[in-house]
Structure 1
Amino acid sequence: MSRDFSAGTAVSRHWSTVRVVVVGDPATGKSSLIAAAATDTFPEIVPPVLPPTVLPADYYPDGIPVTIIDTQYSLEGKVKIEEELLRADAVVLTYACDQPDTLVNLQIFWLPEIRRLKVNKPVIVVGCMLDLRDEHFPINLERMMGPVMQQFKEIETCIECSAANLIEVAEVFYYAQKAVLHPTAPLFDQESQTLKPRCIRALKRIFVLCDRDRDSALNDSELNQFQVKCFNAPLHPNETEDVKRVVRDNLPKGVNHLGLTLDGFLYLHSLFIAKGRLETTWTVLREFGYNDDLVLPKENIPVPSEMAPDQSVELTSEAVDFLKGIFSLFDSNKDGYLQEFELDELFSTAPESPWDEDPYKDSMERSELGGVNLSGFLSQWALMTLLDPPQSLAYLSYLGYTGDLAKAIRVTRKRSLDFKKQHTDRNVFQCYVFGPKNAGKSALLTSFIGRPFQDNYHLSSNQCYTVNTVDQLQGIKKTLILHEIQERDVKEFLSSKDSLAACDVAIFLYDSSDEYSLTRASKLLTKVARKGEDSGYGVPCLLIAAKNDLNIYPMAIKDSEMVCQVMKISAPIRISVKEEHMSNVFQKIVTTAQQCHLSVPESKHARNNKRYRQLVNSSIFFASVGAAVAIVAMVAYRAYTYRKTNSTR
């Protein structure tokens, strides 16, 4: 039997085999279908259930073998079928063309059962024994299955076949394999007959990368380079003209005097998919690194595999320069800000904007009109790089970065080593913000990104961050990340051994008008100091007296200064966010982070241990001196005795 399938294509990951499970009512032709596909002959006698059957790698062009699992429905075998369905890569669901009730049973039992089991794999509906259908009662398959496919989106395609006449038998498992290796769902919306948004974004990025002269069109040379890269075969000039003619005839704006436009590029892929040539679009996507979810897999991003807990990741100057160029490119009106529509366009070649969700949603400074300046833009990238290096590198790629991703980031030196050297070369510092409820933590974070003061703050996330640049002496800029930690979460947070490893400096806010607030802040400071000593990740700390515009309680200044003296940290910093009296608090935080060996607190436990070690060392010293004196005395006595004995002789 001859088989005519499309040329083989690359697949998104290594498949040792595609596992297809065949289910359906009894006597619907499951076993005969499998046997006919495997042998190219119709078996006169088949057992009730076939053992696993393998179609070899060279059976279909993709070069991946297909393992077919036959099943037989019974009450006793129900559990076995469920297990097989959950292990399937694709499901072939059969009905008998000469038994209408088996088709009805697909809708009332089998498809709901597959959905109940949450199989979430493509389903190929197959009508078997086409040769037995009464020719006086023809059925329009498309009209009959259309409503069913609308109800059950997991159905990839429907096909009818005849094992007896070897009609469309091999095609059944080809479609099943194809649904796994080249799935429709990520690319195309069957209901609207349009490309899905994420597919459009991926293809737009590919178009931009191939448009080397940046004129928003693929000329003949660029089209040919694209063809060679994806399909390893050049386009002949007449083929290039044929492609452009097809696009021009159906979508005039798809081609202009410069070449194929983005609209034309997208139209071609819609055409491929509509004609069932999904492997063409998938070949393109996979050549440019996309997986089945149409993202660049994080496991393929070259991030450092081994990092100490107290190391962090920063963008290199090369990556920062690229981002500056991107900012300038998308700042269409050159006002120094990226408005929301400009940010949307900037991220239009990525699966979605990475900054629409926590923890990035409200973390950077914006203008009154919502625009983001260059400083805020780069700060946000610094935050994403610190928290999620693979995501940061992936989005650099989505934006068109073509350099070596491994050279786009650098791993900082260990903070423990910075401490010993009493110097750090970090450009990005993370500050943990502790304090009791209503101490003013949220007000401090929002003031850092230029938001106006509010009387009440409502946290939208437990992972609350703000980030901005801080000007230092001689025009040097550092990036500071404030990470608010709620008082109720401190115990759980500190339960991890490495909880303070990523912290460059910790600050402790209290309400200046509330004596109890200072007491609670002091206890938090003590807990963090003790945790730092126990874990080996001691961090410099600052005490901040917030709400300094309120009436402070009588002993507030003396009490807070006493806390700092006892803990051996810098004097309290007094601020009022409401009245914008900030005492250069952010510069002081950065300076403290840079002077990492200073302002590291000592807990009472540490002081007791220190006194104990001093006492032990003193005891050892005096014991050593005493022993030395005794030895000297003994030697002197022996010498004296020896001389006396000799003189008497």
Structure 2
Amino acid sequence: MSKSQNDNIRVVVCGDEGVGKSSLITSLVKDTFVPNIQSVLPPVTIPRQFSSLADTPGQTIVVDTSPLLQDRPQLTKEIRRANVIWLVYSDHYTCERISLFWMPFFRSLGVNLPVVLTANKCDLSPRDEASRAISEEMIPILKEFKEVESCIRCSASLHFNVNQAFYLCQRAVTHPLAPLFDSKEGKLKPAAVAALERVFFLADSDQDGCLNDTELKDLQAHCFQNKSLEEVDILQLKNILSELSAEAHVTANTGDSESNGLSIVPAVIPGKGITCEGFILLNKIFAEKGRHETTWGILRRFHYTDSLSLEDKFLYPKLDVPPNASVELSPDGYRFLVDMFLLFDKDNDGGLNQLELNALFKPTPGIPKLWKDTNFPQSTVRNEAGNVTLQGWLAQWSMTTYLDYRSTMAYLAQLGFDGKQGTQKITDGVKITKPRKKRNPASKAYRSTAITDRNVFNCFVLGSSGSGKTTLLKAFLNRPFSEVYTPTIQPISVVNSVEMPGGKQCYLILEELGELEPAVLENSSRLDECDVICFTYDSSDPDSFAYLVNLHNTYPQLNMLPAVYVALKADLDRQQQRCEQQPDVYTRNLSMAAPLHVSAQWTSSLNELFVQLAEAAEYPGSATPRDGPEEHDTSMLPTAATVGSALGVLAISLWLWRSQQR
């Protein structure tokens, strides 16, 4: 349970009659022992400023209870409302009752609460009995019941360890041990290890697999701003880890390493720093020594909840996107992704191979789902070795942001976009474009308006089967031409950058819809995602263009979108189309440009097509079908008429005034 700043901590004190529950509460509040108090105290509220723990989220309410049978309903009610149970015993009999009654009773209620076990009245036992009580009474209970988070011996009459016991109760809520450490196995839990590995990844700025002194100091400053890490502290830390690592190697040689839970990988590499295994081992020591609040201090600074998942508000910060607007990467977002690419291109070959991609995505769930759906890395630009280039890397993220910006923000968060100091917001990695306005395609204003604030455009590639759509998509990614024909069943999406006249660069997403084409064209929301349509036909097939004419008749809504007509396979013999109108006449009647003749074998024609598609998306009015003549903007005519009338009235008034003066 992750507690917000307004939450209170509710501590319910349980135990047999006469163990000193009320005396412990009174000693806590009064800082001294008070004799002759009532058997059950009313709830006591301790303000946050008087709390034993500096980062307690709110007030702490301590609730006294009665173990009597007639008070059992009230006891049950309080336990169900509790955040932590302060369980008290005072002698051998009441200690036996912990295992025989109290712990089974808590479990029977179905509550999963941390328990702080306290042996009260330790002043009545000889001093030499302390170690025996711990080893024979507390440790067996601690091992048997995972709910028992810590144990402590107290004395209400001497005010001994009372504040410390209360601190343990608060810490059990604010910094729970259970999610981090498996007491029975004696090692950190897998979720805790995974979270700490991500922290190590983000702290390892140079990605050399070790935290050097500078990186350790940066991590300390990031997590604990008021506590600096000195050189002597770092040296002492390395010495401790080196000794434990050496012990682990010795234990491994005896075949008993698993039982001790110690790492056999070097914890410290001389001259480089602390390894990831050493960092995990360090936090294991914190858990074993009862200093797991240090581990929580690190994890909370990196936005982890008590369940060791990243906070939703960190992964998915609120972003108000107006209707018909799109989301793109901001300059800061592009810069961060460029830095990530350069950092993980270890062999400096200008591409990310599978091993480098695996290393880059290590602190995440893996490559985004959208990438899997688009068959990455086939969806973007790769070099001759098949590795994703920087151009392809940025193009893929541009497509991801355009189609699913929440996924991009989640990955920016997981990869550390917020920076070492956590000062940068995740939303700084993206930007919102202006909403697209639906206007009359026949109006002069619409046909002359450019979309200047967008750099990513989505294009549907439509055409008859065998017209060359898939080959066009492959050519867009500079893939070699293949004579083998394979019909497209599932949708295909590819993305690449296009350099516009004047040097401006934009990203173009080409989507071939496959068998989902009818469903997509009937879906208005999917059509809203389309910025331009590429209508393709096979210029060597006389029946190919008729498919596009039929498509327009079936889906008249396509006439509201900008489009470019393309005659593919232009290197083959051109055929007369079996259609009422030939392609040139058909497009001229729509006031559109004639089909562009393109071949996968002609690089210059391909480049011209992709630029034309990008320009059609940027200037949608000029590429949108128009049946009638262009409408002129007459918005000024009423104003001109009004001004003319006013001037006429003024002239007549002046003439009358002058006549009266004469």
TM-score of the alignment, normalized to the shorter chain, above 0.5 = yes
The match for 2:556 is 526
CA distance in 2, matches of 1:106, 1:436: 74
Q: 2:496 aligns with which of 449, 468, 472?
A: 468
Specify the code of the residue in structure 1 equivalent to 2:273. L
Pick from 172, 175, 187 the counterpart of residue 168 of structure 2. 175
Q: How does 1:385-534 map to 2 (within 5 A)?
A: 385-386=401-402, 387-388=404-405, 390-391=409-410, 393-394=412-413, 397-398=416-417, 409-416=430-437, 422-425=449-452, 428-431=455-458, 433=460, 447=474, 455=486, 459=490, 465-470=493-498, 472=500, 477-482=505-510, 486=516, 490=520, 493-494=523-524, 503-506=530-533, 521-522=551-552, 525-527=555-557
Deviation string, structure 1 residues 162-195 (Cα, Å, up to 9, x no partner):
7866776555553343244334466556647145
Aligned position for 2:258? none
**What is the CA distance between 1:338 and its match in structure 2?**
0.8
Which residue does the alignment assign to 1:540?
562
Decide which of 100, 113, 120 is 1:123's aligned counterpart: 113
- Counterpart of 2:94 in structure 1: which amino acid? D
Gapped runs of 5+ residues in structure 2?
Answer: 247-265, 439-444, 646-662
- Alpha-carbon distance, 1:378 to partner: 1.1
Question: Aligned partners of 1:171, 1:301: CA distance in 2, in Å?
Answer: 36
**CA apart distance, 1:62:** 1.5
- Asked if 1:599 corresponds to 2:623, the answer is yes
Q: 1:202 corresponds to which residue?
A: 199
Match of 1:279 in 2: 293
Matches within 5 A, 1:11-30: 15-20=5-10, 22=12
The answer (yes or no) to whether the contact 1:573–1:583 under 8 Å persists in 2 is no
Residue 361 of structure 1, CA deviation: 6.4
Distance 1:439 1:43 in 2: 95
Q: Which residue of 2 aligns with 1:67?
A: 61
RMSD: 6.0
Pair 1:560–1:268, CA change in 2 (3 A)? same
The 3 A distance-change label for structure 1 pair 583 and 159 is same
**Contact (CA 8 Å) 1:311, 1:502: kept in 2 or not?**
no
1:260 corresponds to which of 261, 265, 273: 273
Alignment-derived partner of residue 85 in structure 2 = 92
Cα 1:393–1:259 shift into 2, 3 Å: closer
Equivalent residues of 1:428, 1:479 under 8 A apart: yes
CA contact (8 A) 2:493 2:511 kept: yes
The structural deviation recorded for 1:314 is: 3.6
- What's the TM-score, normalizing by structure 2? 0.64
C-alpha distance in 2 between matches for 1:357 and 1:105: 53
Q: Is the 8 A contact 1:28 1:128 kept in 2?
A: no
Counterpart Cα distance in 2 of 1:297 and 1:236: 31
Tell me the alpha carbon deviations over residues 151-171 of structure 1, each in whole angstroms, 9 at most, x when there is no partner.
Answer: xxxx37154667866776555
Deviations 1:330-352 (A, max 9, x none): 2222332211211122234x444
**Corresponding residue for 2:368?**
355
Structure 1 stretch displaced more, 12-21 or 325-334:
12-21
Separation in 1, partners of 2:72, 2:615: 70
How far apart are the structure 2 equivalents of 1:370 and 1:75?
75
The corresponding residue for 1:57 is 49
Q: Does structure 1 retain, via aligned residues, the 8 Å contact 2:464–2:548?
A: no
Change (3 A) 1:187 1:547: farther
Report the CA distance between 1:377 and its aligned residue: 0.8
**Does the 8 Å CA contact 1:412/1:426 hold for their aligned counterparts?**
yes
Per-residue CA shift, 1:26-74, capped at 9, x if unaligned? 9798974884555565786657794474454322132523234678899
Distance 1:360 1:326, change over 3 A: farther
Partner AA of 2:171 in structure 1: K
Contact 1:291-1:297 within 8 A present in 2 as well: yes
Letter in 2 for 1:589: L
Report the residue type matching 1:376 in the other structure.
Answer: G
Give, in angstroms, the shift of residue 501 of structure 1: 5.9
- Farther off after superposition, 354-363 or 373-382: 354-363
1:344 aligned residue (358, 362, 377): 358
Shift of 1:430: 3.1
| Contact in 2 for aligned 1:202/1:351 (Cα 8 Å) | no
Letter in 2 for 1:60: S
1:375 alignment partner in structure 2: 391
How far 1:226 sits from its partner (Å)?
A: 5.3
CA deviations on 1:576-634 (whole Å, 9 max, x unpaired) are 99xx9x9676454323212222233469xxx8xx99x99xx9xx99xx9xxx9xxxxxx
SS at match of 1:382: helix
Tell me, yes or no, if the aligned pair for 1:295 and 1:351 is still in contact at 8 Å. no
Contact 1:34 1:68 survives alignment (8 Å): no
Q: Give the aligned partner of residue 146 of structure 1.
A: 143
Q: What's the CA shift string for 1:56-105, capped at 9, x where partnerless?
A: 432213252323467889999989978985x76x3428587738576456
Q: What CA distance in whole angstroms lies between the structure 2 residues aligned with 1:455 and 1:30?
A: 81
Judging changes above 3 Å, is the alpha-carbon distance between structure 1 residues 503 and 13 closer, same or farther for their aligned structure 2 residues? Answer: farther
The aligned amino acid for 2:175 is H
Amino acid at match of 1:92: I
| Aligned-partner Cα distance in 1 for 2:150–2:73 | 25
Aligned residues: percent identity? 22
Contact 1:514 1:553 in 2 (8 A): no
Alpha-carbon distance between aligned partners in 2 of 1:329 and 1:420, rounded to the nearest angstrom: 45
Q: CA deviation at 1:231?
A: 4.3
Matched to 2:5, the amino acid is W
For 1:48 and 1:371, the matched residues in 2 are separated by 72
CA contact 1:506–1:539 (8 Å) conserved in 2:
yes
2:457 and 2:531 in contact (8 A); partners too? yes
Q: Secondary structure at the match of 1:174?
A: helix
In 2, are the aligned partners of 1:385 and 1:391 still within 8 Å (CA)? no
SS at match of 1:345: helix
Offset from partner CA, 1:452-488 (integer Å, 9 cap, x none): 88846665xx9x7543234555776431224677457
Amino acid at match of 2:202: R
Check 1:483–1:330 CA distance in 2 against 1; reply closer, same or farther (3 A cut): same
Please give the alpha-carbon distance, in whole angstroms, between the structure 2 residues aligned to 1:13 and 1:441. 58
Task: Give the drift of 1:490.
Answer: 4.7
